[in-house]
Structure 1
Amino acid sequence: MNPVLEARDLEVEYRSKRVRAKPFQALRGVSIEVRAGETLGLVGESGSGKTTLGRAILGLAPVAAGSIVYDGRDITRLRRAERRELGREIQAVFQDPYSSLSPSMTIESILTEPLAAAGASKKDARAKVLDLLDRVGLPSVARSRLPREFSGGQRQRIAIARALALDPRVIVCDEPVSALDLSTQERVLDLFIEIQERAGVAYLFISHDLSVVRHISHRVAVMHRGEIVETGSGDQVTSAPMHPYTQRLFLAAPVSDPDVQRERRQQRRDLVLGVGRD
């Protein structure tokens, strides 16, 4: 199956305002592909470059070299109008459900906004809003309420509904459950899976948490210092990682058994010391 979204040897640089300062290279030769209807988990610690890759795909980070290809079309350097048009195909769900929704707009207005921009009539937009709320498990009466009246998990459901409004083929999910408690995380992840099974949408799912990535991903790519260091199936990478950096992530993941947790901490310390001697 041909990928619906690709990054090919992608490099992103941020230039300093100081005249002679070297640009900071956030991504170095990164290549990934996301197939239709699948989830590619992108995992790494803070500063690894995973969010920068998501922003580059969305046209929000400066690409210095390489290319981004959507459905066979190079979208690396689109004009603003072309990027807006592409918003029908590629959407995003961001980390913070508290700041990603306008506090002064009703839920109906938030969900209607992209539909109106796409030319939908008021009648069709209203019907679509009811369908979207149903798809994310919220009652129809939610449409007349403000974001502050909802919990974090409910707000993230609304953000997901907004991303689905234009029936995209790809959604970039940037740490979409990291601000939620564990029980809410699981419900929202199950919602992502249910929507994918029903709609066939592809996800680039960005997270620092291997357990979250394991729950939702078909394949996993691991980022470290702006590079992909390991790729493979979700089960293989999250259960039996090969690269020392991924092994450290695996051993750092919390487990409920204190004896196992203690053993993992010791293994991680030994691994870090071993890597340091190399």
Structure 2
Amino acid sequence: MSAPLLDVQNLVTEFPRRGWRKPPVRVLKSINLDVKAGETVGLVGESGSGKTTIGRAVLGLAPVTGGKIVFDGQDISHLKPAARRAVSKDIQVVFQDPYTSLNPAMTIADILAEPLVVQGMTGAKARARVAGLLERVQLPADAAARLPREFSGGQRQRVAIARALAMEPKLIVCDEPVSALDLSTQARVLDLFLEIQEQTGVAYLFISHDLAVVRHLSHRVCVLYHGDVVEFGEAGQVTDDPSHPYTRRLLMASPVADPARQRQRRADRHALVAAAGE
């Protein structure tokens, strides 16, 4: 069996507290997970569960206090800036709010061409690549000359996806990339993620609080609770027949259209919370 593309081994992340001699806050407690090439692993949990911190640690934006992160056979846990920049070509990110992650003063063409030019691509080749990226994310060619504010939220997220694809990465960390979008736009953007994966073979580490979203996209699902992995397995098994009470509670928290079923799910969830003593 081939080694995974991303292998997170006993990852511990701590942040310092304010105040003299106060012990650090341990956000991640010995996390183990992996992502294979071309695979989507969904990270799901409530706010404060540590899922975003895992993504930030993979990107080099959160400290690795213990354990290690191995990407494509290389330990990237404590890279120096120059080595991190080299790895960033293969690890890209799509953030939750596309507007704040796009420079409002730059045209879409400049935003997409910037990482290409930094890597040494000539202007003519960069422009041709930008046109191809816009086509891949299903935006019109004239979008290149426009500013981010001229687009809807869903269109801006497509621009952010195009920017992540510009360097032809092996892995994209997707940090709640559809949570700020309306339901119909969510569905279209999720379908775009699937289509891009089929075309390019890119792997996703997909972070979300919504099990329904994760189920739609993921091959495997990792459930986090208070900095611990409580369940990790095939998406169908975890989302249809979860073994851990916390995963069942997450599943019951997802709304359904039938009011009677929704009332029953709410009652079942309250019963699980009471049984857990929370």
Residues 1:148 and 2:149 aligned together: yes
Q: Specify every segment of 5 or more residues in structure 2 that has no aligned partner in the other structure, as ranges.
A: none
For residues 74-223 of structure 1, the aligned pairs below 5 Å read 74-223=75-224
Taking the aligned partners of 2:160 and 2:217, their CA distance within structure 1 comes to 18
- 1:51-90 pair list within 5 angstroms: 51-90=52-91
What is the match of residue 261 of structure 1?
262
Any idea what the Cα deviations from partners look like across 1:201-224, whole Å, max 9, x if unmatched? 000000000000010000000000
Amino acid at match of 2:203: A
State percent identity of aligned pairs: 61
Give the alignment's TM-score, normalised by structure 2. Answer: 0.99
The CA RMSD measured in Å over matched residues stands at 0.8
User: Aligned equivalents of 1:180 and 1:172: distance in 2?
Assistant: 18
What SS is found at the alignment partner of 2:101?
A: coil
Counterpart amino acid of residue 112 in structure 1: A
C-alpha deviations, 1:1-33, integer Å up to 9, x for none?
A: 421001100000001231211100000000110
Letter in 2 for 1:235: G
How many residue pairs match? The answer is: 277
CA distance in 1, matches of 2:88, 2:122: 19
1:276, 1:18 → 2: CA distance? 32
Secondary structure of the 1:213 match is: helix
Q: Kindly report structure 1 stretches of 4+ aligned residues shifted beyond 6 Å.
A: none
Cα deviation, 1:30-70, whole Å, max 9, x if unaligned, reads 01100000100000000000000000000000111000001
Aligned residue in 2 for 1:244: 245
Does the residue aligned with 1:7 lie in a helix, a strand or coil? strand
In the TM superposition, residue 76 of structure 1 has moved relative to its aligned partner by 0.4
Q: TM-score, normalised by structure 1?
A: 0.99
How far off its partner does 1:111 sit? 0.1
Q: Which residue of structure 1 lines up, in the alignment, with residue 226 of structure 2? A: 225
How far apart, CA to CA, are the structure 2 residues paired with 1:14 and 1:135?
A: 39
Paired AA for residue 132 in structure 1: L
2:200 maps to amino acid: A
- What letter corresponds to residue 256 of structure 1 in structure 2? A
1:63 match: secondary structure: coil
